[in-house]
Amino acid sequence: MATILDLIGNTPLVELKNMTKHLPDNIHIYAKLERFNPGGSVKDRPALCMIQDGIDSGKLTPDKIILDSTSGNTGIALAMIGAVLNYKVRLVMPGNVSDERKRICRAYGADLIFSDPLEGSDGAILEARRIYEADSDRYFKPDQYNNPANPRSHEESTGPEIWRDTDGTVTHFIASLGTSGTLVGTGRFLKRSNPDIQIIAAEPDSPFHGIEGLKHIESSIVPGIYDASVHDQKIPISTEEAYDFTQQLALQEGLLCGQSCGCAMAAALKVAETMMKQGQAANIVAIFPDSGEKYLTTAVFSGNRMMDGAGI
Ligand code: PMP
């Protein structure tokens, strides 16, 4: 009999038809909808892989508490998986992450510790490190920023799924950057399958951005798993662009998305427009990491043009 954990992965790939009307017929943009994972985001994949790896290596024993720093989705995934496998989960997150995320983690029974919002995700990383070092025997720290099981989960699942679902015709792969696990793992698999596939990182254009879940790598603690040799290109995306495209995805494509989907979509359209100018065909696949419900009370959906009736 299957458990909820067996539903992780094999997320659908859908074509975006309305926001691409200005493009020629030989250019397609597909979104891989990671919201269909049971925890609601792409992070179910690495969370399960890191926990499984911990169990297999003997580092995660039944008496240990799973501890990590997370801006939210990994926390939700760890909390959900912890509930299924009977582990206690303790999460450190910046105090300003959306209220919905905090409530979801608590609903799965996780214990939350808040770090200084002004220090962002780096503050949460340092606080989790302090807690771990003070009492390391008590904890299992998956450490998503440095754990090779994070990109490996994508190398073993996200990448093969994209290859399979496009019948090997994918030409460009786009992922936004948080820990970089999605980009690095999926990119490795796709490059190995066909070295011509362009691997593209969609990155916030400044250290002070409002795209939840993402990192501006140059100005952050660089994740140990980050491998700059995997991507061919990085496209900087502003918070305004990411928000605008997030709103348009709901209005035009019926996809209520998190802001990092808007970020990936902005990059996908830039790539598509470049290919159009060059007169070339393209099958662009963008990762859409989660859905919009968790962000309804945040700036991206409050007081925007939807409320002004422009969507009627
Ligand atoms: N979007 C959202 C909403 C996320 O939570 C994350 C993970 N922090 C990402 C994108 C980036 O994924 P990754 O950590 O694999 O780079």
pLDDT at site 71: 63
Q: Identify the segments of the chain with pLDDT beneath 50.
A: 305-312
pLDDT, one tens digit per residue, over 250-294 is 999 999 999 999 999 999 999 999 999 999 999 999 999 999 998
pLDDT at site 309: 41
**Is the CB of 185 inside a 6 Å radius of any atom of ligand 1?**
no
Residue identifier of the C-alpha nearest atom 3 of ligand 1: 213
Matching CATH number, 44-140, of 3.40.50.720, 2.40.128.20, 3.40.50.1580, 3.40.50.1100: 3.40.50.1100
**Is the CB of 201 inside a 6 Å radius of any atom of ligand 1?**
no
Q: Among residues 69, 157, 176, 260, which one is catalytic?
A: 260
pLDDT at site 311: 40
Asked if 215 is an active-site residue, the reply is no
The HSE-up count of residue 168 (CA atoms within 13 Å, CB side) is 4
pLDDT at site 91: 96
| SS3 per-residue string spanning 123-148 | HHHHHHHHHHHHCHHHEECCCCCCCC
Residue 274 CA to ligand 1 centre (angstroms): 26
CA-only gyration radius of the chain, Å: 19
- Give the DSSP H or E segment for 111: strand 111-115
pLDDT at site 192: 98
pLDDT at site 310: 41
Residue identifier of the C-alpha nearest atom 8 of ligand 1: 213
Task: State the amino acid at position 203 in one-letter form.
Answer: E
Give start-end residues of each CATH 3.40.50.1100 domain in the chain.
4-36+154-305, 44-140
Q: Which CATH architecture has domain 4-36+154-305?
A: 3-Layer(aba) Sandwich (3.40)
